[in-house]
Amino acid sequence: MNVFAHAEFDAHEQVCFCHDQASGLRAIIAIHNTALGPALGGVRMWPYADEAAALADVLRLSRGMTYKSALAGLQLGGGKSVIIGDPARDKSRALMIAMGEAVNGLGGRYIAAEDSGTTVEDLKAMRDVTRHVAGIADKPTAQGGMRTGDPSPATAYGVYAGIRAAVAFRLQRDELDGVRVAVQGVGSVGFKLAKRLAAQGARLWLTDIDTDRARLACGEVNAKLVTPEEIFALDVDVFAPCAMGAVINDDTAATLRARIVAGAANNQLAQPRHADALAERGILYAPDYVINAGGVIDVALELESFDVDAVNERVAGIGATLTEIFERAEREGRNTSEVADRLAREKLQGKRDMRESAR
């Protein structure tokens, strides 16, 4: 198995293969880039078909975290880790402790957080052997509430701020009153987003493969229920994907009627070329890793102190970052996805130049 010549290898600083005989741990930790700070990223546990699939995933995801944190204005780099195994069958406290020890061995260059297949409880087990864990704090907030570690409220707030920025740019409207939004997936993020949009007078269409959940959500925010198939073809202003990836593909890019695509889902574009396909049809795309960075901002600020207002203020900045991307895309005649990547690389390069001149 090749690492340095791997298709997903992108000058990663460090890739560690971690093993523990007693607990059965087989994991890979990838540190993509620490130019801006220690590499923060989730611990994913998944029954990968083989080690090659796990390596491809961790290389790709860690790179994505570098870009996300850079554009979120965080002093953090990008990393990710994957544990090979079925979380329902193979997970144990001993396994998570062994993972914690592996993370600890990196001396803080990688900071672990929750991801698919791991829970706050798992991260707390890791915390028993390493302090390089984030997103688990059970601590009082400055506002008198309790911090639980759930990033979805901050993610939803960021997507809301991003939709406002996109509506202002594309529709020249400062208010959401009467703006028509289709939300795909009303889980942790989608439902909170729908509530925020409804509170501002947006008209909503919701769908979820869990029909009961969708029906309940519609009742609560006075939205119209549609099927998962119907959501793509609605005559709306905004399509907000908040379910799964690859929703912008050859089919949908050619048929969507929305003028804006802005939602929480990761990896919304099936292929990079689908950003061009949207742009050619005049559909404004809010790059996913920019608009859904509220969660990582929330986790990152927990490393400093915990103040909900401070988090919200930082998360609201996602709107300004998106506006910068939209304006530059228009000016340069590029798609928004390409511009976001360029902007992130410029931030990293600036820091790298400073470092190199200090050497």
Residues recognised as catalytic: 80
If one asks whether residue 252 binds ligand NAD (CB under 6 A), the answer comes out as no
Residue number, 100 or 185, with CB nearest to ligand NAD: 185
If one asks whether residue 187 binds ligand NAD (CB under 6 A), the answer comes out as yes
Rounded Cα distance, 174 and 170, in Å: 11
CB 266, min distance to ligand NAD, A: 4
The residue from 100, 185, 287, 319 that contacts ligand NAD (CB under 6 A) is 185
CB 303, min distance to ligand NAD, A: 17
The residue from 78, 162, 190, 287 that contacts ligand NAD (CB under 6 A) is 190
If one asks whether residue 248 binds ligand NAD (CB under 6 A), the answer comes out as no
Task: Report the largest interatomic distance among the alpha carbons of the chain, rounded to a whole angstrom.
Answer: 61
Tell which positions 207-226 bind ligand NAD, by CB under 6 A. Answer: 207-210, 213
The residue from 238, 243, 253, 343 that contacts ligand NAD (CB under 6 A) is 243
The residue from 264, 275, 283, 348 that contacts ligand NAD (CB under 6 A) is 264
If one asks whether residue 287 binds ligand NAD (CB under 6 A), the answer comes out as no
Of 5-13, 78-86, 137-145, 264-272, the window that binds ligand NAD (rule: CB under 6 A) is: 264-272
| Number of residues located near ligand NAD, criterion CB under 6 A | 24
If one asks whether residue 230 binds ligand NAD (CB under 6 A), the answer comes out as no
If one asks whether residue 295 binds ligand NAD (CB under 6 A), the answer comes out as yes
The residue from 265, 269, 286, 348 that contacts ligand NAD (CB under 6 A) is 265
Coil, helix or strand at residue 316: helix
Coil, helix or strand at residue 12: coil
If one asks whether residue 266 binds ligand NAD (CB under 6 A), the answer comes out as yes
CB 210, min distance to ligand NAD, A: 4
CB 316, min distance to ligand NAD, A: 16
Of 184-192, 249-257, 323-331, 340-348, the window that binds ligand NAD (rule: CB under 6 A) is: 184-192
Tell which positions 45-64 bind ligand NAD, by CB under 6 A. Answer: none
* Interacting residues toward ligand NAD by CB under 6 A: 151-152, 155, 184-190, 207-210, 213, 228, 242-244, 264-266, 292, 295
